[in-house]
Structure 1
């Protein structure tokens, strides 16, 4: 099935692909020749989609999924994942009152915030990324998917698995994958929390309402909670001020020492769109590399 997802304004598709490619989990997702593909699971059924930029202001999707009744929910998730409904001109006008943001946005006017297909998957990624590099976290995620993910049948090479279910992860000894036992405990605890509250990763009324239930979980700190709110709950003002990438980006752009507190103070001018400012900073760092 082919779908066309329209959007308004500019769209920096290469930046979106670059972000997703750097975080692609083997067996679960891939980026090849301008196309992002991944396996999906919804309502007990499995499938895949491939998405790329189409002519005009739209993304083109090839969907392979056995349940046609699930298509509206799949479209809703895709629109959130690829940030298709954002008022990007309005957001960027506000951020551009800061000269630094104005300069960065002028160079990449279609920069959007990558979302996530599934809340559990994003939360597991965030916990795996605590205090280690993106590459190391993705390698661990690949082990987790290969060990605990259900096989994708029929396969769509190189997509071989779907992401593990919350029940499987809640019961697994994830430290056996080669991580600190405390982190394995946090991962299983996050999965159990979703079993206890199926709406755990759904958007809430405001940022504190998004992060409070997450901060109550063992091993989940502010960085993890803010990151989940930013990418999964689509909270436009979420801002992981302790993120090393954000700190390094601001340091490279403006020089001088940057602390988490200093970054947080600097970000006051970017409210209520700090998530978009964070994406601008992350992208500036990746392109400087």
Structure 2
């Protein structure tokens, strides 16, 4: 099936694709040419989808389910998830106007007018990615995620000849709650956090869903063992789509500020500086990450 999903305003597709390419998990995601492709499982149906630029201000989305007809409900879920993952509902012109009052951000906004905040396909998958990324490099986290998918994900029921690299769907909370994740090659404390997140989601299926406010969403996550402020805000930004979320202790943000203003702040100083960027601190963060390379 093919759908064209509209968005308004500029779209920096190369920035979005570059972000996804650097974080693509082997067996689960592929970036090739202008397209991003991934496997998925929804309502017991597995399949593949691809996203690339379409005509005009639209993204071209193509997806199929393994040997089954696509129900209207499943199609609706795919559309919702793609719109969230690719930030299609952002009013970038409004956001830019409100952030442009800050002299530090003005040149960043001018140089990347179509920069959007990448979202997540699935909340559980994003939470596991975030925990894997604690205190290690992006590449290190992706390598761990690839091993996790290979060992605990489920083989894709029907492969897509257009995307032979897609071989598995992501592991379920049930699979990870009881797995020996330390065997993947990580500290046992982090393995316990991963299993704890999986069990918490089994106990409360709405755990990762958006709450009434950013504070409520973050506070719920902080109650989980091994989840700190950085991880909670990262999940809130990319999955809950709380656009004022701001992981102030992020090394990339601190380094970007050092480059832009000549002095590296600490997390508390950056948090105070970011007060001027409310309620769009997440977009400010994305511009800082992009500026820092």
- Classify the TM-score, shorter chain: over 0.9
Q: Which whole-Å deviations, capped at 9, do the CAs of 1:206-260 have from their partners, x for residues lacking one? A: 1111111110001000000000000000001000000001111111111112211
- 234, 256, 260: which is aligned to 2:263? 256
Query: TM-score with structure 2 length normalisation?
Result: 0.96
| Structure-2 residue corresponding to 1:68 | 71
Count, aligned residues: 286
Deviation track 1:32-75 (CA, whole Å, cap 9, x = no partner) reads: 10100000111111111100111200000111123333101110
Instruction: State the partner residue of 2:277.
Output: 270
Cα distance in 1 between the residues matched to 2:283 and 2:129: 20
Q: Which deviations, in whole Å up to 9, do the C-alpha atoms of 1:186-206 show, x marking residues without a partner?
A: 000001111111111111111
Cα shift readout 1:159-208 (whole Å, capped 9, x = no counterpart): 00000001001111101110000000000000111111111111111111
Work out whether 1:169 is the aligned partner of 2:176.
yes
**Equivalence map 1:22-171=2 (5 Å):** 22-65=22-65, 66=68, 67-69=70-72, 70-156=74-160, 157-171=164-178
Tell whether 2:13 aligns with 1:9: no
Structure 2 residue runs without a partner (length 5+):
none
Q: Which residue of 1 aligns with 2:220?
A: 213
- TM-score scaled to structure 1, two decimals? 0.97
Please give the secondary structure, in 1, of the residue aligned with 2:159. Answer: strand
State yes or no: 1:182 paired with 2:189: yes
Q: What does residue 247 of structure 1 align with?
A: 254
SS in 2 for 1:164: coil
Please give the secondary structure, in 2, of the residue aligned with 1:40: strand
CA RMSD in angstroms comes to: 0.8
Separation of aligned partners in 1, 2:182 and 2:97: 46
Distance in 1, matches of 2:58 and 2:274, equals 31
1:279 and 2:286 correspond: yes
